[in-house]
Amino acid sequence: MNILNVSEFLPFVQKYFGHIIVIKYGGAAMQNTVLQSKVIKNICLLHSLGLKVILVHGGGPFINEWLCKLNITPKFHKGIRVTDHDTMEIVEMVLAGQINKQLVSLFSQNFTQSIGLCGKDSNLIVASPLFDDPNNLVGQVQSININLLNLLLENRYIPVIASIGLGSNNKTYNINADTVAGSIAGSLKAHTLVLLTDTPGIMLDIKNPLTLLKSLDLERVQQLKNNSIISGGMIPKVECCVKALQAGVKSTHIIDGRVSDSLLYELFTSSRIGSQILL
């Protein structure tokens, strides 16, 4: 991408200047160190151009790696990690202790102020259980401490948030990072939500990137769900975007985090690179 093409670049900077952008980060873009460095540099650029960026991250592959080291078999049910008490300890250690601080360190190396958080910090993410089973610590978002996030953004910090919530029962919950990002964006009525994924976006044929849909409204999304074109792991991502839009977010984007500079392509060019969902 020729980021110095001011004739195209500048109007988009003006469009987003001063607005809140929530980015969900995970998948291959997190595992590949070269891509990871690129993503962090891109976010630093957004920050330096006056955008108020919040970064939410998961870390499933790293959790699996640590579970295997400790001879604990990862378990999933309908694509959701079954999180018992032993697994929750590993999830918290990896997300809040390892990945979160690694990302904050990368921002520091790029001379950008960030602060690492999880849902336990100042009741940032109040959660409740997603399932009736008291031994399954998968959670859902009940509320977001927007006062804390606004305070950090006003003081030019990038909040880097691990997708862990704290319940009223003082239990720690593992929450899907897409869900957390969408809830934060909706609570703040952010301008934009971007989900970095391992797919180009929403495609009519999942095997053919040329069938990528660049722009959709909610009616089109529902049609694609009814026809099972939006299916599997794409369903929760799309539902996250829809809920964010209904809560006041102006635009939502599902883009390929495996593509270098995908954030800049999506936000700062008219052609974009992923799928945009609007009301």
* Binding positions for substrate: 59-60, 81, 174
Please name every residue paired with 20 in a beta bridge, in sequence order, or none if there are none.
Answer: 52
Question: Looking at residue 117, what DSSP letter applies?
Answer: E
Please name every residue paired with 212 in a beta bridge, in sequence order, or none if there are none.
Answer: 203
Minimal CA–CA distance to 195: which of 65, 97, 58? 58
Cα–Cα distance for residue pair 202/199, rounded to 1 Å: 8
Please name every residue paired with 25 in a beta bridge, in sequence order, or none if there are none.
Answer: 57
- Give residues with Cβ within 8 angstroms of 220, minimum separation 6: 213
Cα–Cα distance for residue pair 108/191, rounded to 1 Å: 26
Question: Looking at residue 171, what DSSP letter applies?
Answer: -
Indicate the residue type of 100. Answer: N
Minimal CA–CA distance to 195: which of 152, 242, 229, 230? 242
Burial class of residue 124, CB neighbours in 10 A (0-12, 13-18, 19+):
buried
Minimal CA–CA distance to 103: which of 160, 142, 165? 160
The binding site consists of 59-60, 81, 174
